Amino acid sequence: MTMTAIGVRARATARHWLWPGLIALALVTGIAFVAWRLSLAPATGAAPAPEPPRVIELAAIEVSAVRRETLRQLIPLAGSIRPVNEALLRTEVAARVREVTVREGEAVKRGEVLVRLDTRDLKARLEERQRALDAAEAQLAHAERVRANTTALEARGYAARTSMDKADAESRALAANAGQIKAQIDMAQKALGEADLVAPIDGWIAERMIHPGEMAMNDTKLLTIVDLSLLEVMATVPASDIPRVAVGQTADFTVEGLGDRLFTGRVQRINPATLAGSRSIAVHIVLPNPDGMLRTGMFAAGHIVASEAADALALPIDAIRRDADGSHVLVIEAGHIRRRPVTLGTLTTLDGRVRIERGIQPGDVVVTAPLRLEPGMAARVGGQ
């Protein structure tokens, strides 16, 4: 046998054994794969493994930790500042203005001379009345002598009764005229004494309505003086809030143009009727001004402290939920949502916090966001 024949026969023998080996390998591999898949499948009739409970994670802004605090029930209000004490200086007589010693914005003291009137006319008027009185008294003295003589003659029968009556009437008329002139003299002296007009109060000149040389008639307005040491705010309050307002309550204000500085006053008066054309009632609040920072006409905005509770428990109004069983809150306790009935107080603040009388304790974590949660749900606060 040649070498070529031997090689051909060897290759044929190798192919005869290769194919059965490959088929056997494929069968073993398939059986192993099926067995592996069956090992992954759950056993027939076995219950599926329970899923872990879903935990709801709440943000810190969606909850509120209960703490004790001071609550203040406030009634907002605003109004213009005006003086409690104000004086208007007027003339009592007609005279020409000789001198005005002050201008707007200057401080004055009680009793200080502010306006001087020209007294020449007043003195002339007084002198004329004095001369008229002298003449009237002379006439009256003459009439009294005539009356006395007539009375004596009438007693002796030398004078008629009519003469006596005439002398008596003339005497009474002259006496009345003299009395009238005396009253005019008193008025002239008074006018002369009031030629210098003085400040009736301590304060500041707010208005000056007269100048030297002008003629001031009787009751003419000359100056306005305001006392800035004590001011008041006349604010309007809705009639529905008036039952909570009382004399003596504290009121805090900020004033336009003076930044965040807080001014404190007290309710002094409450008007008995609503303002015309509105359903509001005027409330007068006295505002001390020791450093003179406040001025009349400034606009003040603030609030009255209607009631105050120290060491109280409170929650945002949005935290209160209501159902058929009443008011309640949702508390995160031991990792779960719990329903907690609460009793609300009557005090509610301007920023929307309500006092809780019963149902919560300091440290409780209450859900404040309007989320649809049910008692029993697992929950936690993010970051905790």
- Amino acid identity, position 174: L
Q: What is the residue-wise DSSP string for 201-246?
A: SSEEEEEE---TTPEEPTT-EEEEEE--SEEEEEEEEEGGGGGG--
CA–CA gap between residue 117 and residue 97 (Å, rounded): 4
Beta strand 321-323 pairing with 326-333: antiparallel
Q: Which residues are CB-neighbours of 72 under 8 A, at least 6 positions away?
A: 305, 307, 308, 349
Give the three-class secondary structure for 128.
helix
How far is the first Cα of the chain from the last one, in angstroms, to the nearest whole number? 91
CA–CA gap between residue 81 and residue 237 (Å, rounded): 16
Read off the pLDDT of residues 306-363 as tens digits, 9 standing for 90 and up: 888 888 998 998 899 998 889 999 999 989 999 999 999 887 777 788 899 999 999 9
Both tokens assigned to 157: 């029968």
382: which DSSP letter?
A: T
Read off the pLDDT of residues 78-134 as tens digits, 9 standing for 90 and up: 999 999 999 999 988 788 888 999 999 999 999 999 998 887 777 777 778 888 878
CA–CA gap between residue 65 and residue 45 (Å, rounded): 49
Give the residue from 181, 223, 188 showing the smallest Cα distance to 203. 223
pLDDT confidence of residue 84: 93
Print pLDDT tens along the chain (384 aa): 444 444 444 444 444 445 555 565 655 565 655 555 555 555 444 555 566 668 888 888 889 899 998 888 888 999 999 999 999 999 887 888 889 999 999 999 999 999 988 877 777 777 788 888 788 788 878 777 777 777 776 676 666 667 767 777 877 887 888 888 888 777 777 777 677 888 999 999 999 998 998 888 888 899 999 999 999 999 989 888 899 899 999 999 999 989 999 999 999 999 998 888 888 899 999 999 988 899 999 999 999 988 888 889 989 988 999 988 899 999 999 899 999 999 998 877 777 888 999 999 999 999 999 888 889 999 888 866
Residues facing residue 284 across a β-bridge: 234, 269
pLDDT confidence of residue 159: 62
Token pair 């001014």 in the structure block, residue: 263
> Structure pTM?
0.59
Q: Which residues are CB-neighbours of 21 under 8 A, at least 6 positions away?
A: none
List phi, psi (to 5°) of 154: -65, -35
pLDDT confidence of residue 125: 79
Q: What is the residue-wise DSSP string for 290-322?
A: TT----TT-EEEEEEEEEEEEEEEEEEGGG-EE
Q: What is the residue-wise DSSP string for 243-263?
A: GG--TT-EEEEEETTSTT--E
Beta strand 378-381 pairing with 55-58: parallel
Q: What is the residue-wise DSSP string for 350-376?
A: TTSEEEEEES--TT-EEE-S-----TT
Instruction: Delimit the domains of the chain by residue range.
Output: 60-72+310-381, 119-194
Cα–Cα distances in angstroms (integers) from residue 344 to residues 222, 315, 325, 329, 374, in the given order: 60, 10, 14, 11, 22
CATH 2.40.420.20 at 60-72+310-381, yes or no: yes
